Amino acid sequence: MKKTMLTYKTLDRFEAEYITENYTGAELESIELAAYVANMNRSSRPEWTESDIFTDFLRVLKIHKITVNKKEDKIMLKDGDKITVHFINHWMHKIPTEEKVGTTGIIFEVKTVNNKIGFDGNINKSPYTCRGELFTPFAAYSWCVIFRNEKTGRLYRYSSIQNDLEEVTNLKDGYIDKIAWLVA
């Protein structure tokens, strides 16, 4: 987005708080214009604060029918969410695991420890997983481990490229339950 001395604070806040990657060129121009209009309105309303200007900016975007989504809407799993863990192979088939391995089919609660999001997945306290600690961050799992949000039914996996969770969109809703087990 093009920023001017008049609009940079409004547009910086917009980029920090809202998802901005999906706008077309015409929508970006409208957003820039909306920031300009909101900041120009301050000249007729000198009592306005930065917060008032930003609220007016969002109002102008609504008039132009530009949808805005807060970044927190992008959070996929958060503390307190209930998940199940599934292992898949390259063909998107569920990999059978022995009961003593542990995590398949058990419902876990997502939590944050030391600014890392994960769950208590090392139920056998294996010394090879997170130094034997019970808490296991999502980053410790490879792409072939699917986490299912029990409330929404959405599927996620950890992407080492994005260094974050990503939604698994190449599986149909509920597909993880219908996947045939591989026969060894």
| Gap between the Cα atoms of 120 and 134, Å rounded | 5
Q: List the domain boundaries for the chain.
A: 8-72, 76-178
Comparing C-alpha atoms, which of 104, 116, 23 is closest to residue 61? 23
Residue 171: which pLDDT band, with cuts at 50, 70 and 90?
low
pLDDT score, position 161: 74
**How many Cβ atoms are within 10 Å of 180's Cβ, its own excluded?**
7
Comparing C-alpha atoms, which of 149, 151, 181 is closest to residue 168? 149
Burial letters for 35-63: b for 16+ Cβ neighbours within 10 Å, e otherwise? bbbbbebbeeeeebeeeebbebbbebbee
| Gap between the Cα atoms of 57 and 61, Å rounded | 6
For residue 74, the SS3 value is helix
| Gap between the Cα atoms of 84 and 109, Å rounded | 9
What is the mean predicted confidence (pLDDT) over 82-100? 64
Please give the model's pTM, rounded to 2 decimal places: 0.50
Query: What residues contact 114, with CB distance under 8 A and at least 6 apart?
Result: none
Tokens, residue 175: 């597909």
**Whether residue 162 has pLDDT greater than 60:** yes
Type and span of the H or E element at 157: strand 155-159
pLDDT score, position 115: 80
More confident call, 90 vs 11: 11
Residue 98: which pLDDT band, with cuts at 50, 70 and 90?
very low
For all residues of the chain together, what is the average pLDDT? 77
